[in-house]
Amino acid sequence: MNEKNLIPNSERSPKELREMGHKGGIKSGESRRKKAQARKTAELIAKVFLESEEGRKLIETFKTS
């Protein structure tokens, strides 16, 4: 776990670089999907809360203060 273990991209073969890029693209897609799902879940929870009686009362208390 030190800098001696690092290999610069200029010393990697085109095949290695392509494989690394491919893996990065897959991971990027996974994280985008995970973030999108979290966003949708948060929006759904907020919507349900705001439509509830308790949520409306809480919003009214914030409006008056």
| Residues 3-49: tens digit of each pLDDT | 888 999 999 999 999 999 999 999 999 999 999 999 999 999 999 99
CB distance 9 to 17 below 8 Å: yes
Q: Which two tokens stand for residue 55?
A: 């949520």
Q: How confident is the model at residue 1 (pLDDT cuts 50, 70, 90)?
A: low
Q: Quote the tokens at residue 62.
A: 């914030």
- Does the pTM surpass 0.85? The reply is no
Q: Is 65 helix (H, G, I), strand (E, B) or coil?
A: coil
pLDDT at residue 2 greater than cutoff 90: no
